[in-house]
Structure 1
Amino acid sequence: MLILLAFIILFHITSAAFLFISTIDSAWWVGEGFYTDIWHWCFNGTNCTALDNTFSDYEAIQAIQATMILSTILCCAAFFVFIVQLFRLKQGERFILTSILQLLSCLCVMIAASIYTDRHEELHKDPHYAVFGVSGGQYGYSYVLAWIAFAFTLLSGVMYLILRKRK
């Protein structure tokens, strides 16, 4: 049982790390000479501009930012609740709240990545990009990590439900 708990703790910390990296790092959309994330876009690695209300479809960017931050907060809160519940609650009552928080984190990261997937065409046709001749590109590793974090948080949420019944 101790090995199972160690695996679950490591899995949860990995999920949180993926969420932090995908929320903070600048690689949601990359191309030749530019990269962008949910906070700013950079051309030639030095000319960085924050995404603000002058960009088209800024509401979608704000929704992505909010849900990614909420997902990260919920994942961290679920970890702290897990540690508290591990030592405070009796068997059979453990990890239900942790599972709920982790599944909510999963839902939030899925919403953020889905909005970005749906809106990336509109987000990257903004006139601000045309000034530098930015075109093309592909999804970056932060975007991929967001989807991996979705899978990890979903799996850990389910694992907490299963672990609730273990002795």
Structure 2
Amino acid sequence: MLVLLAFIIIFHITSAALLFVATIDNAWWVGEDFAADVWRVCTNSTNCTEISERFEGYSTLQAVQATMILSTILCCIAFLIFLLQLFRLKQGERFVLTSIIQLMSCLCVMIAAAIYTDRRQDLHHSNPEFYALTSEGRYGYAFILAWVAFAFTFVSGLMYLILRKRK
């Protein structure tokens, strides 16, 4: 049982770390001379332009920003609640609250990655200053980490739903 508990804790911490990296790192859309995420566009790793209201599609990026942040916060809250429930729940009870919060985190990261997937072309191609730069790019590792974090938080949420507190 102790090995299972250690695995679940490590799995949850890994999910949170993936969410932090995917939210913060500047590699959602990358090319040879640029990197772009939901916060800024950088050329040659030195010249960074913050995405602001003048950026067409800013409200879409704000939705991605908000859902990624919310997903990270919910994942951390789920971990804290898991630790509290670990010592508070009676034997044989399930970690339902932890599961619900972790599945909400999963939903948020899925929404963020799906919005970015759907609107990425509109975001980068509708802004003339970045069009020539970002037209020849590919999804970066932070974007892929967001989808991996979706899978991890989903599996974690299901594990908490199935898991019963035992001796």
Q: How many residues align?
A: 166
Q: CA deviation at 1:92?
A: 3.7
Give the Cα separation in 2 of the matches to 1:120 and 1:91: 48
Structure 1 equivalent of residue 40 of structure 2:
40
User: 5+ unaligned residues in a row in structure 2: which ranges?
Assistant: none
Aligned to 1:7, what secondary structure does the other structure show? Answer: helix
Calculate the TM-score normalised by the size of structure 2: 0.95
Q: CA deviation at 1:45?
A: 1.1
1:96–1:164 CA contact under 8 A, matched in 2: no
Q: CA deviation at 1:91?
A: 2.6
Q: Which structure 1 residue ranges, 4+ long, deviate > 3 Å from structure 2?
A: none
Q: CA deviation at 1:135?
A: 2.4
Structure 1 equivalent of residue 30 of structure 2:
30
Structure 2 equivalent of residue 83 of structure 1:
83
Aligned to 1:124, what secondary structure does the other structure show? Answer: helix
Structure 2 equivalent of residue 59 of structure 1:
59
* Pairing of 1:88-99 with structure 2 (within 5 A): 88-99=88-99
1:113–1:146 CA contact under 8 A, matched in 2: yes
Give the Cα separation in 1 of the matches to 2:123 and 2:7: 39
Q: CA deviation at 1:44?
A: 1.2
Q: CA deviation at 1:37?
A: 0.7
Structure 1 equivalent of residue 130 of structure 2:
129
Aligned to 2:59, what secondary structure does the other structure show? Answer: helix
Question: What letter is aligned with 2:16?
Answer: A
Q: CA deviation at 1:165?
A: 6.5
Give the Cα separation in 1 of the matches to 2:91 and 2:49: 52
Structure 1 equivalent of residue 104 of structure 2:
104
